[in-house]
């Protein structure tokens, strides 16, 4: 599990799947607004001129020297809901991200946003 204090340190590090295959680079961490615990990360994937950000859960992530290993395979992550490099995930699309990984989804409190970028 990535702890809040580690978030800035691991930005731009390689994100790898359980088999050690590179998925992309960690762009940002999103915390669960109800617990303030790291919940998802965006991973920069694609060709240099066509980068996009895909979401991956961090619940079973482990840290290594220069990488973050996630519990999901590269193929599943690369097919996850994505957004452009300068985009913000609309609250209406949060449920889509959770469903892709077969995770339960409940709207957050206040603004209804479940994920907040850190």
Q: For strand 115-117 and strand 82-83, is the pairing parallel, antiparallel, or unpaired?
A: unpaired
**For the residues 13-18, what does the mean pLDDT come to?**
96
Using a pLDDT cut of 90, give the percent of the chain over it: 45
> Quick one: average pLDDT of 100-110?
86
pLDDT digits (tens, 9 = 90+) for 34-61: 888 889 999 999 777 778 899 999 988 9
pLDDT at 3: 54
Distance CA 90, CA 115 (A): 10
* Residue 54 to residues 14, 15, 25, 84, Cα–Cα distance (Å): 14, 11, 10, 9
88 or 72, higher pLDDT: 72
Positive/negative CA dihedral, 104, 39, 26, 96:
positive
| 14 in Cβ contact with 77 (< 8 Å) | no
């Amino acid at each position: 599990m990535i702890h809040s204090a580690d978030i800035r340190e691991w930005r731009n590090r390689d994100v790898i799947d359980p088999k050690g295959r590179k998925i992309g680079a960690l762009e940002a961490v999103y915390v669960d607004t109800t617990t303030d615990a790291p919940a998802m990360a965006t991973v920069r994937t694609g060709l240099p001129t066509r980068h996009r950000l895909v979401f991956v859960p961090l619940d079973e992530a482990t840290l290594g020297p220069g990488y973050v290993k996630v519990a999901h395979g590269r193929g599943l992550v690369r097919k996850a809901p994505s957004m452009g490099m300068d985009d913000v995930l609309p609250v209406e699309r949060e449920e889509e991200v959770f469903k892709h990984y077969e995770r339960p989804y409940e709207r957050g409190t206040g603004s209804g946003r479940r994920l907040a970028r850190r």
